[in-house]
Structure 1
Amino acid sequence: MTTAELSAPAPAWRRHLRGQSTSAAAVLAALLTILGAWQLAVVVGNRIPSPADAVDSLVSEAAIGELWHNLAISMNRFLLGLAAALIVGAALGVWMGLSKIADLAFSDVNAAALAIPAVIWALLTTMWFGFGWLTPVVTVFLSGLPFVVVNIAKATRAVPADLVLMARSFGVPRTKVLRHIVAPAVAGSTVAAVRFAIMSAWNGLLLAEWFGATSGVGWRSRYWYDANQLDGFFAWVLVFILLLVIADLLILGPLERRITRWRSA
């Protein structure tokens, strides 16, 4: 085998397979870490149920139809609120990044929204909308929106102003400037915005369903908490954590690498 062959880049299929193996290893490592820390807490504590007890509770919940039913309800609420936060946040962030007036008008408000924890949004929406689907959806929206706005606005400000001015001086329409100049520049930050928004909004969803819903993952967690059945409570907490880990490692991570692959080209 020649030196040129040794230094040649790996085929695309091999790099893809290597990336998939890395993602699988990351998921396995994360799961083992969670289970190891949990088992250690079981040994140290005296009232913490074991992972086996939590899994048994999940099996029981699935057998009576509560697991998938409440999980589907929560996911529908979460996706609806997150989609609204991404659409509104992206538009507002780009506007703030391109317009000094918009930046002055909304930057302080967005900074204040970033400082408000998800539990406050959950309590406020419960008092505003009562028990129903609107409370968790609006909580997800309000919890995730500031993170989308701040990341998109920051990335838009980083777009070279000379490049935008040159495109405009050559008569390039604003829509094409946004599509071909601004959008590629903020693509990487968009994934970061989605990651932060998902974490905050998912916590907001759990709290909103805990305080102001009669269905969903948060409500079912509170059901077992009020019943003083820690195995059932920990079972739903496990579902909550695993969904975050899987979404981050299997969806957001590969998506970010794909969007920003031009940086290493």
Structure 2
Amino acid sequence: MTTRASRKSKATSSVACRPLGGLPGPRSGLLHNVEIGKQPAPPPLMRALASLPAGRLGAGVVAVGSMLLIWHVMSLYFRPWVPDIGATLTAIGQQLQSPGFWDNFVLTLGRVLTAFVAASVVGAAVGLLIGLNERAEAFFQPLLALALAVPDPVYIIFAILALGTGETAGFVALTIAVVPFVTNIVRSNVHARDRALDEMAQIYHLPRPVRLMAVLVPQLVPALLTAMRFSFALSWKLVVVVEAIGQPNGIGSAIFHSFRQLRMREVAAIAIIFIITMQLLERGVLGRIEKRLLRWRD
């Protein structure tokens, strides 16, 4: 019995080792050039992508390269409305050497910072009030919902019609347009705070100023930083729109003036310089402040 069982097991193992269905072995047919345990060579495109710098730097290089390629193709098919890259770079150099450009740039930057500070302070204060006071929330909630639903250019147009084309109209329009978004961000995070910390502060009979600065504000720091970055990003975009519609000077006015004269190279050059500068301020200044204040999370 033992001999028969051993013979059957040997026969079964020999059958299992044979190629099934007449398939070629590892050294024949289609698999002749592939070594056992090794993957086939990747295609050239995959090798090229693998050779790129790793991480966010590589992704950024690919993104910028893709944008430049799309820009080049559009400049070929939509000339002269889309200027080519070389002409735009030349126009950028000319703008950087122009005193008039820097006058407009400084003026616009001042408007952006003024609107940003005003909208951030007012929006954060109203958001705290709505989040902590039920009566204030019942009063402001319909107004906040309406303000968030109104398109931003509507504020700009009505401010210009009511106050004229001076600095006051632009400041009021920008502040009213940005404040609702900051208020909504702060209010939502006040509602999401840890209520247990409020109960602990109440048990220990902490004064209200101490509760505000030692219990509530530390929980709201991430929300306040997010609201600040959003306020800055929205402010500089709306400042350009306000200047293009109703201001005689500034970056927006310069872009609109060049557009009316069909100087598309100047339009692209001014816009690129201003956008890059605003991105550097947002990521370089506000981003560093955010990382420093939120270092405790790491």
Q: Please say whether Structure 1 and Structure 2 have the same fold, judged by a TM-score greater than 0.5.
A: yes
> Structure 1 length as normaliser, TM-score?
0.82
Q: Does the alignment pair 1:42 with 2:88?
A: no
Over aligned residues, Cα RMSD in angstroms?
Answer: 2.4
In the other structure, the counterpart of 1:4 is: none
Question: How far is the alpha carbon of 1:84 from its aligned partner?
Answer: 0.7
Distance 1:71 1:29, change over 3 A: farther
Return the offset for 1:109: 1.4
SS of the equivalent of 1:223 reads helix
Indicate conservation of the 8 Å contact 2:95/2:270, yes or no.
Answer: no
Structure 1 residues 33 and 256: CA distance shift in structure 2, 3 A: farther
Is the CA contact 1:93–1:153 (under 8 Å) kept in the aligned structure 2? yes
User: Per-residue CA shift, 1:135-160, capped at 9, x if unaligned?
Assistant: 32223212221111011111111122
Give CA-to-partner distance per residue, 1:144-184, whole Å, 9 cap, x none. Answer: 21111011111111122232133134221211111111111
Do residues 110 (structure 1) and 144 (structure 2) align? yes
How many Å apart are 1:89 and its aligned residue?
0.8
Return the offset for 1:187.
0.9
Contact 1:89 1:149 in 2 (8 A): yes
Map of 2:170 onto structure 1: 136
CA shift, 1:94, in A, is 0.8
- Alignment-derived partner of residue 207 in structure 2: 173
Partner of 1:101: 135
Residues in 1 aligned to 2:87 and 2:262: alpha-carbon distance in whole angstroms = 15
Asked if the contact 1:135–1:213 (Cα under 8 Å) also holds between the matched residues in 2, the reply is no
Per-residue deviation at 1:87? 0.8
- Which whole-Å deviations, capped at 9, do the CAs of 1:172-227 have from their partners, x for residues lacking one? 12111111111111111112212222222222111110111111110111110111
Unaligned ranges ≥5, structure 2: 1-54
On the 8 A contact 2:123/2:180 being kept in 1, the answer is yes
The residue aligned with 1:191 is: 225
User: 1:34, CA displacement in angstroms?
Assistant: 4.6
- With over 3 angstroms needed to count, the CA separation of the structure-2 counterparts of 1:190 and 1:171, relative to structure 1, is same
CA contact (8 A) 1:48 1:230 kept: yes
1:65 and 2:99 aligned: yes
Distance 1:93 1:244, change over 3 A: same
Q: Distance in 1 between matches of 2:158 and 2:152?
A: 10
Per-residue deviation, 1:229: 1.1
Return the match for 2:290 from 244, 247, 256.
Answer: 256
Deviates further, 160-169 or 185-194: 160-169
Q: Is the 8 A contact 1:144 1:200 kept in 2?
A: yes
Comparing 53-62 and 169-178, the one that deviates more: 53-62
Alpha-carbon distance in structure 2 between the residues aligned to 1:252 and 1:33: 28
Larger helix fraction of residues: 1
Runs (4 or more) in structure 1 with deviation over 6 Å come to 22-30
Unaligned runs of 5+ in 1: 1-21
Q: Does the C-alpha gap of structure 1 residues 86 and 94 become closer, same or farther in structure 2, counting only changes over 3 Å?
A: same
Paired letter, 1:81: A
Cα distance in 1 for residues equivalent to 2:66 and 2:288: 21
- Per the TM alignment, residue 258 of structure 1 is displaced from its structure 2 partner at its CA by 2.7
The one-letter code matched in structure 2 to 1:163 is: L
TM-score relative to the length of structure 2: 0.73
Question: Which has the larger displacement, 189-198 or 222-231?
Answer: 189-198
- Over 3 Å counting, the alpha-carbon distance change for 1:40 and 1:243 in structure 2 is farther
Equivalent residue for 1:149?
A: 183
Q: Tell me by how many angstroms 1:60 deviates.
A: 2.6
Q: Larger Rg: 1 or 2?
A: 2
Partner of 1:17: none
Q: Amino acid of the residue matched to residue 180 of structure 2?
A: P
Aligned partners of 1:27 and 1:245 also within 8 Å = no
Alpha-carbon contact 1:126-1:212 (below 8 Å) kept = yes
Find the counterpart in structure 2 of residue 12 from structure 1. none
Tell me the equivalent position of 1:10.
none
What is the rounded CA distance, in whole Å, between the counterparts of 1:170 and 1:205 in structure 2?
48
How far did residue 239 of structure 1 move? 2.5
